[in-house]
Amino acid sequence: MVSRAESAAATRRAVLDAAAELLDEGGPDAVTLRDVSARAGVSRGAPYGHFADKDSLLAAVATEDWERFSDEIATLRGTPAAKLRGALTALVSIGRHHPHRYRQMLGPPAGEDPAQMVAASCRAQEEFLALVSQVVDKQDVHRYGGLLFTGVSGIINAELSGHFTTGKWRTSADELVDTLVTLIAHVQPSDHMAGGSSPAR
Amino acid sequence: MVSRAESAAATRRAVLDAAAELLDEGGPDAVTLRDVSARAGVSRGAPYGHFADKDSLLAAVATEDWERFSDEIATLRGTPAAKLRGALTALVSIGRHHPHRYRQMLGPPAGEDPAQMVAASCRAQEEFLALVSQVVDKQDVHRYGGLLFTGVSGIINAELSGHFTTGKWRTSADELVDTLVTLIAHVQPSDHMAGGSSPAR
DNA sequence: CCCACTCGGATGACGTCGTCATCTGTATGA
DNA sequence: TCATACAGATGACGACGTCATCCGAGTGGG
């Protein structure tokens, strides 16, 4: 026998999974609440018992993806440098295997309660910065950590948009990521330029 | 008296402008062909005489934005380093003044004829690489050029998503751009990147 | 053991959207 | 002058997000 709460949780899970699947298959426009419901085996109105609207459902998918990513990079083992590269590889991997969910993760927090998605991405940032702090000098952690993460995300985005196959960059995402990591790993705090104004908040 | 071709071109222009406006104001979901038509002062079906579908219209807007950006960075004057900084500043400026159009530009080429948007972004890449080639060694142009452009675009995207105000990165987009430019081009950071370049349109 | 209650889920409906088939009016060219 | 072509207007259709309403099964008290 299934309790009512259990069945409700199962429905929520099924809806979430169906949405993630459809998002993977055809992007946000292919995520139709009607199709989601059908694939989850529930009625059209059922998702509204768990998510305020379509945007909130998509945000919930992204939130789970952020949490999965956080767990993944938090359990990396090896040398600090290897862990850092592992984290970046994990990010690249998400972008390549789940382009649309990747874009959803990196887009602006949406839905009825954006704070939830913000919190999830915040934790990922913390985990990532923890790895960075083992590789670069303490005072450069945020600057280099932020640059690594946002830079790599931009590289991935360019690859997903086909800019390396159809554009003029005669290079690849892998090479760029490697270049960026090498640049940051090589430049040690010795030459910290005076540019660093007061950090934002 | 207006010739038929002239009136048709005017309609196309009005539709394009109306779409860009609505995109600026409320993002892609706010771009309704009905609203576009109304704002352009034409009927609901008129846009279909010039654009295959909504995605093609959005792609046409992005194409024009790429062309405008290409023209802008192609006419920059000053030292090579200043021109490179100016190009990146122009990119940042588009992201800040027209976030949704910026996202449209950096998203995957869409519409009935993606090649058109691809060509436009290709020209921008060429113009940008031309600037980069004056600052870095010949053999590093593509690697560093691609890294600069995609890296900065990732930084902007993070800012647009609010990751610097709600996240754990205790830094700012300006600082990250400066850091990246300094790392790659060994060009001293500008005092304030946000400053003076003219916004796109 | 029974019953009223609760609440997740199902259903019907509404307004809006993208899109297309069809119609109309006017500039064009012979 | 008039037939033609074509931009634009209009009506219609299916699909979508969303909500008001209804249903039925798990639940707790008697």
Q: Do B150 and A157 touch (CB under 8 A)?
A: yes
CATH number at residue B96: 1.10.357
- Co-location of B71 and B41 in the same domain: no
Structure tokens at A192: 């910290």
- How many domains would you assign to chain B? 2
**Percent of chain A predicted with pLDDT > 70:** 91
Report if residue A174 sits inside a domain: yes
- Co-location of A120 and A58 in the same domain: yes
Q: Is B23 near strand C, with its CB below 7 A from some atom of it?
A: no
Which residue in chain B is spatially nearest to A108 when comparing CA positions? B161
Can you tell me the distance from the alpha carbon of B191 to that of A188, in angstroms, rounded to the nearest whole number? Answer: 23
The set of strand D positions with any atom below 7 Å of a protein CB reads 6-12, 15-21, 26-27
Report if residue A197 sits inside a domain: no
CATH number at residue A164: 1.10.357.10
Report if residue A131 sits inside a domain: yes
- Co-location of B45 and B72 in the same domain: no
* pLDDT of A197 over the 60 cut: no
Give every CB contact of residue A137 below 8 A, 6+ residues apart in sequence: A188, A189
Find the mean pLDDT for residues A70-84: 96
CA distance B11 to chain A (A): 28
Find the mean pLDDT for residues A136-162: 97
Judge whether A125 and A106 are in contact, CB under 8 Å.
Answer: no
Compare CB distances from A150 to B118, B176, B188 and report the shortest one's residue: B176
Find the mean pLDDT for residues B81-88: 97
Find the mean pLDDT for residues A39-62: 98
Q: Residue B187: pLDDT band by 50, 70, 90 thresholds? A: low
- Co-location of A110 and A42 in the same domain: no
Q: What is the reported pLDDT for A187?
A: 52
CA distance A6 to chain B (A): 34
Q: pLDDT of B16-29, one tens digit each?
A: 999 999 999 999 99
User: Protein B49 CA to nucleic acid C22 C1', in Å?
Assistant: 15
Report if residue A36 sits inside a domain: yes
Report if residue A32 sits inside a domain: yes
Q: Is B43 near strand C, with its CB below 7 A from some atom of it?
A: no
- Co-location of A21 and A112 in the same domain: no
Nearest CA among B170, B115, B40 for reference residue A138: B170
CATH number at residue A41: 1.10.10
- Co-location of A7 and A69 in the same domain: no
Nearest CA among B63, B65, B68 for reference residue B51: B63
- Co-location of B179 and B159 in the same domain: yes
Report if residue A199 sits inside a domain: no
- Co-location of B114 and B60 in the same domain: yes
Q: What is the reported pLDDT for A191?
A: 35
Which residue in chain B is spatially nearest to A145 when comparing CA positions? B169
Domain boundary among A10, A25, A50: A50
The protein residue nearest C17 (Cα–C1') is B32
A168–chain B Cβ distance below 8 A for any pair: yes
Judge whether B172 and A200 are in contact, CB under 8 Å.
Answer: yes
Q: What is the reported pLDDT for A21?
A: 98
- Co-location of A141 and A74 in the same domain: yes
Domain boundary among B18, B33, B50: B50
3-class secondary structure for B15-71?
HHHHHHHHHHHHCHHHCCHHHHHHHHCCCCCHHHHCCCCHHHHHHHHHHHHHHHHHH
Find the mean pLDDT for residues B71-97: 97
Q: Supply the DSSP symbol for B133.
A: T
* pLDDT of B36 over the 80 cut: yes
Question: What does each C-alpha distance from A90 to A76, A177, B66 come to in angstroms?
Answer: 10, 12, 31
Judge whether B160 and B54 are in contact, CB under 8 Å.
Answer: no
Q: Do A166 and B118 touch (CB under 8 A)?
A: yes
- Co-location of A43 and A133 in the same domain: no
Q: Residue B127: pLDDT band by 50, 70, 90 thresholds? A: very high
Q: pLDDT of A2-15, one tens digit each?
A: 776 777 899 999 99
Report if residue A110 sits inside a domain: yes
Find the mean pLDDT for residues A117-137: 97
Measured in residues, chain B has a length of 201
Structure tokens at A122: 């915040």
Give every CB contact of residue A159 below 8 A, 6+ residues apart in sequence: A95, A96, A172, A173
- Co-location of B28 and B61 in the same domain: no
List of chain B residues whose C-beta atoms are within 8 Å of the C-beta of residue A186: none
Q: Which of A196-200, B137-141, B179-183 has the lowest mean pLDDT?
A: A196-200
- Give residue numbers, 92 to 121 of B, with CB < 7 Å from strand D: none
What range defines the domain where residue B124 resides?
Answer: 54-201
A82–chain B Cβ distance below 8 A for any pair: no
Report if residue A113 sits inside a domain: yes
- Co-location of A100 and A135 in the same domain: yes
Can you tell me the distance from the alpha carbon of B154 to that of B159, in angstroms, rounded to the nearest whole number? Answer: 9
Find the mean pLDDT for residues A63-84: 97
Helix (H) or strand (E) holding A116: helix A114-132
Q: What is the reported pLDDT for B193?
A: 41
Q: What is the reported pLDDT for A122?
A: 98
Can you tell me the distance from the alpha carbon of A198 to that of A200, in angstroms, rounded to the nearest whole number? Answer: 6
User: Protein B50 CA to nucleic acid D10 C1', in Å?
Assistant: 18
* A38/A196: higher pLDDT: A38
Q: Residue B2: pLDDT band by 50, 70, 90 thresholds? A: low
Judge whether B186 and A195 are in contact, CB under 8 Å.
Answer: no
